[in-house]
Amino acid sequence: MQGVIIVEFASVKELVITMGTQYRGKIFLSSPEDDVDLTYDAYLLAVRRLEKALLALGMRKGERVALLLANGLNYAVTFTGVMASGGVVVPINPHLKPAEVNRLLVDAGTSLVVTDDGWYRVFYPLLKGLPVRRLDLGVQGGRLLALELASGSKGDDRAVEASPLGRNDLALLLYTSGTTGKPKGVMLTHGNLLAEARYIQKGHRLTPEDTALCILPLYHINGEVVTLITPIFSGGRVVMPHKFRASRFWDWVRNYRVTWFSAVPTILSILLSHPLPDRSALSSLRFARSASAPLPVAVLREFEARFAVPVIEAYGLSETASQVTTNPLPPAVRKPGSVGLPVGNQVRVVNENGETVPAGVTGEVVVRGENVCRGYFHNEEATAASFKGGWFYTGDLGYLDADGYLFLTGRRKELINRGGEKFSPREIDEILYRLPEVELAAAVGVPDPLYGEEVVAFIQLRPGKSLAEDRVISFLRDYLADFKVPREVIFIRDFPRGPSGKIQRLKLVDLYLKKFQGAAHGAGAGTRPINGEEVAKR
C-alpha cells in the first residue's frame, strides 16, 4: 500500500497543482451517470482554464462567487477553480426558494454566480435584479464543460497570473442552514480547509489506493471537505453521482470498488430499509463514515450486523471545516454512542462560566485548532458570542469520558423543558430507533400551557411496516421517566431536513403548531400522515 507524504501547502490551488502533477494519469473523479472519468492532470487543466476564464472576467482576489450547481464534475472543477483564481466560494443550496437565495447573495455581496442552464432558468428573475455577472457552465453538445476544458476545446493551458494566495486568505463562505435563526456566513480560509483535510486523512488512514463515494451535497461542508478536498490531499479517487440514490448505491460501491463513504444517519437508516446487496458489493468497503447528526446506537449496530462494515462515527461543524473528532478505525477501540477522539484539534467541555468540567460531567463542547473558522461574515455580534479566548463555543452539549472520547447529548437550543425538568430529545430518539418498524424518528418540545413544554415524537416508518401509537408509548415507558414520555406520536411520510440530511427539529415544532396543535390526542391525531421536506429521495 502506498503511503501518503504530508506536505504543508500554502493554498488549495497549490494542493491541486501539486497533486495534479504528481498523480498524472491517475483517475481522480468518476461520474456514474455520465460514464466519465477525469484524471488528476485533466482535473488540474480544467481548474487552471476555469481560473483563467474567471480572471479574464476581471475576478479580483477576495470576490465572492456563488455556486448554484448540482453535484458532479462541473461542481468539483468550479469549486477549486474559483479558489485558484483568488475568489471566495459561496455554495448555494439549489433547493432553497428564490427569496432565500436572494438573502444569501445579498448578504455575501456576491459579484458572480456560476450556474447551469437548468438552474439559471429557475432563478433568472432573481439574478436579473441583482448586481451579479453570470458564467454559464451548462452542458454543451451533450458534453460536460469540465471535460471540454480538459480536452482543449476551450481556452489553452498557458500559465495565468493571479494574486498570490496564502493560508490566511479566505477560500469559502459557507452559510449555515439557519435552523436556529438567520443563516450565518462561516468564513473558512485556505489554511482551515488544508488543516482539516490533513486531520481527516490521518484519522481515517486514507491513501492513494482509496476510493470515496461522494453522496452528500457539495454545497455542504461534509461533501466539500470530506469527500472532495481530502481525497485530493491523499491522492485518492472520488466517485461522484449527481445525488444519493438508495436503489443505485450498492451498484456504485461494487462497480467502482469503493473503499469508504461519508453519510448522515438518515442515509444509513434508508439503506437498512432496502434489500441486502450481493456480498460482492461489500468486499471492497473498509468503513462507512457517519457524521453531521447524532447516530442512534441501534442504527449503528444494525448496519454493522447487516452489512459487516464498521461504522465510524465522527463529529464536526461548518465552523470547524467539518471534522472535530472521530472514532478510530479497527482494531482500535470504537465506542458506540461516542463521536470519538480529537484528531488535530483540542476539545474541552465547559460549564456556563467557561470552566472545564471533570470527565463524565455534561457541559458545552468547545474547540480549538487550525481548522476553526475566522468567524461569521459581517456579523460581529454572533462572532463575539461564539468565539471566546481562542475557543469556538459549539452550542453542542456533551461530556468526555475517562479515555477522552466525546459523547454528545444534544444542543443547547434543542433541550426540552417540561415543568422544570430539562432533558435532551436525543434520549427519546435513541429508544425509538430500537423499534424495528422505525426508519427515522425525532422528539421535540412543543408549547404547553401547563408545563411550558410537552414532548411530541415524530416517526417515519420503514416501507410496508405499521405501528400503533399506544405500542410506541408503552415501549418508551419501559425505558424513560414518565416526564420524558411523549404525550403524542405523529407518523409522517418525510422529515424536514437540512442541507446535509440532518433532521430539523425546529421545523418539526413549526409543523406541529400549524397542523396539529389542538387536535384530539389519540389514534386519529397520532396516525395522521403529513409531508415534510424531502432531501434524499429514494
Q: Residue 229: helix, strand or coil by DSSP?
A: helix
How far is residue 200's CA from residue 192's CA, in Å, rounded to a whole number? 12
Give CA–CA dist 350/390, Å, rounded.
Answer: 14
Asked which of 376, 400, 424 is the last residue of a domain, the reply is 400
Comparing CA positions, the residue from 226, 224, 257 lying closest to residue 239 is: 257
**In angstroms, rounded to a whole number, what is the distance separating the alpha carbons of residues 322 and 192?**
10
Is residue 439 in a domain? yes
pLDDT bracket for residue 203 (50, 70, 90): very high
Q: How far apart are the first and last CA of the chain?
A: 36
Please indicate, yes or no, whether residues 435 and 357 belong to a single structural domain of this protein: no
If pLDDT is split at 50, 70 and 90, which confidence band does 423 have? confident
Average pLDDT estimate for 449-478: 92
Nearest Cα to 495, choosing from 270, 236, 249?
270
For residue 267, give the CATH number of its domain: 3.40.50.12780
Buried b (16+ CB within 10 A) or exposed e, 29-56: bbbbebeebbbbbbbbbbbbbbbbbbbe
Predicted confidence band at 181 (pLDDT cuts at 50, 70, 90)? low
> Does residue 310 lie within any of the structural domains?
yes
Tell whether the model's pLDDT for residue 200 goes beyond 90. yes
**pLDDT band at residue 118, thresholds of 50, 70 and 90?**
confident
- Same domain for 459 and 382? no
Is the confidence at residue 530, as pLDDT, over 70? no
Which distant-in-sequence residues (6+ apart) come within 8 Å of 104 by Cβ?
66, 90, 92, 96, 110, 175, 183
Same domain, 487 and 384: no
Task: Give a yes or no: residue 326 inside a domain.
Answer: yes
**Does residue 392 share a domain with residue 421?**
no
Mean pLDDT value of segment 508-531: 57
In this structure, of 155-169, 273-287, 404-418, 490-504, the range with the lowest mean pLDDT score is 155-169
- In this structure, what CATH number is given to the domain that contains residue 513? 3.30.300.30
Mean pLDDT of 351-377: 97
Q: Does residue 408 fall inside a structural domain?
A: no
The residue with greater pLDDT, 381 or 122, is: 381
Q: Would you place residue 135 in the very low, low, confident or very high pLDDT band (cuts 50, 70, 90)?
A: low
Q: Once rounded to an integer, what is the mean pLDDT over residues 380-398? A: 95
Q: What is residue 421's predicted lDDT score, i.e. its pLDDT? A: 77
**460 lies in some domain:** yes
> Residue 179 — φ and ψ, nearest 5°?
-70, -20
Q: Give the chain's length.
A: 538
Residues 318 and 462 in one domain: no
Q: How many helices (H) and strands (E) does the chain have?
A: 17, 26
Q: Is the pLDDT of residue 499 over 80?
A: no
> What is the per-residue pLDDT for 263?
95
Q: Considering only 36-45, 148-157, 288-297, 338-347, which range has the smallest mean pLDDT?
A: 148-157
Structural domain count, the chain: 2
Mean pLDDT of the chain: 87
Within a domain: 532: no
Domain boundary (341, 373, 400) is at 400
Cell (9 digits) for 105: 447573495
pLDDT over threshold 60, residue 120 = yes
Q: Within its chain, how far is the Cα of 271 from the centroid?
A: 18
φ/ψ of residue 221, rounded to 5 = -60, -35
What average pLDDT does this structure show over 349-355? 95
Question: What are residue 478's phi and psi, to 5 degrees?
Answer: -75, -15
* Same domain, residue pair 76 and 216: yes
The pLDDT, as a whole number, for residue 523 is 33
Determine the Cα–Cα distance for residues 528 and 538; give it in Å rounded to an integer. Answer: 22
Q: What is the pTM of this model?
A: 0.82
pLDDT band at 520 (very low <50, low <70, confident <90, very high): very low
User: Do 139 and 254 share a structural domain?
Assistant: yes
In this structure, how many other beta carbons lie within 10 angstroms of the beta carbon of residue 125? 9
State residue 142's pLDDT score: 41
Residues 284 and 309 in one domain: yes
Same domain, 185 and 292: yes
Domain housing 513: 415-526
* C-alpha radius of gyration, the chain, whole number: 23
- Distances in Å between the Cα of 45 and the Cα atoms of 9, 15, 20, 154, 350 are 19, 14, 8, 11, 48
Note whether 511 and 437 are same-domain residues.
Answer: yes
Rounded CA-CA distance 312/295 in Å is 10
Instruction: For residue 417, give the H/E element and its range.
Output: strand 416-418
Q: For residues 67 and 315, what is the distance between their CA atoms, to the nearest angstrom?
A: 26
Which ranges of 24-112 does DSSP label H, i.e. alpha helix? Answer: 40-56, 73-84, 98-108
Task: Tell me, yes or no, whether 410 lies in a domain.
Answer: no
479 plus 517 within the same structural domain? yes
Question: Of 351, 377, 400, which residue sits at a domain end?
Answer: 400
Q: Which amino acid is at 33?
A: E
Q: Kindly tell me if the per-residue pLDDT of 518 is higher than 80.
A: no
pLDDT score, position 433: 95
**Within a domain: 7:** no
Q: Does the pLDDT of residue 451 top 50, yes or no? A: yes
More confident residue, 394 or 102: 394
pLDDT at 527: 40
**Are 325 and 275 members of one domain?**
yes
Inter-residue contact 53 to 133 (CB < 8 Å): no
